[in-house]
Amino acid sequence: MRTIKYGLMGMLACSLTFLSCSKDEESPESEEQNLTQEIPEAVMDAVRTLELNDNFVRYGTFHFPDGTTEQRVFIEEDIVMTEEQLLQMAEAAQNADGDRQYSTNYLVSQGRNISIIGYTGGSQALSSKGQTALQWAVNNYNRLSGVSISFTLTFGTNYQSKDMVVYDNTVNNPSGAGGSAGFPTYNGLPHKFVQIYGLNGYDTNVNEHVITHEIGHSVGFRHTDWFSRQSCGQNVNEGAGSVGANHVSGTPTGYDPTSIMLACFSASEDGEFNNNDITALQNMY
Ligand SMILES: [Zn+2]
């Protein structure tokens, strides 16, 4: 199966042109490039404390919808945090009971109705396909029973007052395909900025998959295969710091090949949660 990585920022990847490149060709290259980044030890310690995959940490330029930028830490290729957020989360994790269940310690406040806007202005506007896919992704969450959070979707450019904004950053990622997001903050809000890029050549279901996946991170989902990245055709060996991540009860402890939260996706995704993803959301919320 062809696999596609998230969050490549045009650095390494299987671009649309090279979609048929084999996973064997891309994997060693990406590991090598990520391992050569200079990361301060305090940042790496925080990554390990959070049991994030410490083979995939780098600094990169983060683009806001209005075109401004900021240097942020990119982890597991599609998770973006400021150093401050990362260190703050690590501190909270050390004080928590470790019951993390493939999710982060900070979650969105129970029962919150999340305002989410599909960005439609300027060079980072969602295409009509992207807008449809966002509607489908929001429907994926809103149709679930036994999940206390919900979403109210609008389209436009006034994102400052919204909890989340979804935009298309292809202009700054001309050769990659995927998305990026982050994790909820200490104050019970979802991660605000969700990007997709390079997806216009894929069908609406693949766009729906990537947006649902990135919203998943933003409400606290980890990668289902964070321990191995098997979905990317990899078997990344974790260090001692990675032991102890707990699982959501009722979900598999091993590789779950149809989870929407796998680290890599294919061009034939249907964009839907599997039953384990739904169980996890019901347990988190
Ligand atoms: Zn991801």
Return d(Cα 49, Cα 31) in angstroms, integer: 21
Say which CATH class 4-284 falls into: alpha beta
Neighbours of ion ligand 1 (CB under 5 A): 6, 78
How far apart are the CA of 214 and the centre of ligand 1, in A?
6
* pLDDT confidence of residue 97: 55
* pLDDT confidence of residue 160: 96
> Residue ranges of the domains in the chain?
4-284
How far apart are the CA of 95 and the centre of ligand 1, in A?
25
Please tell me whether the overall predicted TM-score, pTM, comes out greater than 0.75 for this model: yes
Residues of the chain with pLDDT under 70: 1-3, 5, 7-37, 96-102, 236-250
* pLDDT confidence of residue 53: 79
* pLDDT confidence of residue 132: 98
Buried b (16+ CB within 10 A) or exposed e, 158-174: ebeebbbbbbbbbebbe
How far apart are the CA of 57 and the centre of ligand 1, in A?
13
Return d(Cα 120, Cα 131) in angstroms, integer: 9
How far apart are the CA of 146 and the centre of ligand 1, in A?
24
Over residues 153-207, the pLDDT tens digits come to 999 999 999 999 999 999 998 888 999 999 888 889 999 999 999 999 999 999 9
How far apart are the CA of 221 and the centre of ligand 1, in A?
9
Other Cβ atoms less than 10 A from the Cβ of 61: the count is: 11
* pLDDT confidence of residue 24: 34
* Closest residue by Cα to residue 232 from 21, 10, 71, 16: 21
Return d(Cα 101, Cα 220) in angstroms, integer: 10
* pLDDT confidence of residue 72: 93
